[in-house]
Amino acid sequence: MTRPVAFVTGGSRGIGLGIAEELAGSGFDVVINGRREASDVSEAIGRIEARGASCLYVRGDIADLDGHEEMLEVIRQRFGRLDVHVNNAGVAPIERADLLEASAESFDRLVSINLRGPYFLTQRVANWMTDQRRADPAIKPSIVFVTSVSATMASTNRGDYCISKAGLAMASKLFAARLGECGVPVYEVRPGVIKTDMTAGVTEKYDSMFAGGAAVERRWGVPEDVGRVVAALARGDLPYATGQAIMVDGGLTVPRL
């Protein structure tokens, strides 16, 4: 296999699918992950392969640490390499609850899927990538964490989500600092309000906010907006930027008077 390979967790829908499609269009073969049956992601696979890539679906739960090595072994057997790892998989709270009433069960679920799982999966990926670099210094792997503006913007009816994304933002910096000597850059991509099935339930709220000028660009973000940024990072278009958070929020977080 000579084409570089990218692994996008949660890559069968929403932002993850937007990322996978853009990576496919940039010359990467793509591995996507999710918890659904393979038969349920055939449309997503078709969209990725239509961009000229080979696509492998690896079913697995990111929160299940014991399953991480099995997923990576499937990638090794199929492609023999991993050039880009995109930590995208994540969930929203089952129910938005006031900070003073939120449950420990919801907190544990969010942290397990959105933070603990990606943290330890990246640990395994990082060891594989550093082994690849030692064997062949010409290989230029990279890691991308997809977080959220909620890493710094407080939403008191989904504190568990905000905390999970803030932790993931710090994880990106930690891995960047540790892997710098290994030649593996690590980036954070921080989306704003993106139109996906995750945000479908708050469409009216954000339609009103955008109409009122909440963001500099008065529109929803779309998965391709995030995908194009991740693809640029994967191609190496932003050298000398490891450890940085790149905002893809239409100016939502720009301070204005």
Instruction: List the catalytic residues.
Output: 148, 161, 165
- Angstrom distance (rounded) from CA 202 to CA 184: 38
Q: Which residues contact 215 (CB under 8 A, 6 or more apart)?
A: 192, 193, 209, 249, 250, 251, 252
Which candidate, 62, 78, 73, 68, places its Cα nearest to that of 9? 62
Helix, strand or coil, per DSSP, at residue 85: strand
b/e per residue 44-59 (b: at least 16 CB within 10 A): bbebbeebebbbbbbb
The answer to whether 20 touches 32, Cβ cutoff 8 Å, is: yes
- Angstrom distance (rounded) from CA 23 to CA 19: 6
- Angstrom distance (rounded) from CA 255 to CA 147: 20
The answer to whether 151 touches 190, Cβ cutoff 8 Å, is: yes
Give residue 165's Cα distance to chain centre: 11
Give residue 171's Cα distance to chain centre: 13
Helix, strand or coil, per DSSP, at residue 9: coil
- Angstrom distance (rounded) from CA 172 to CA 241: 12
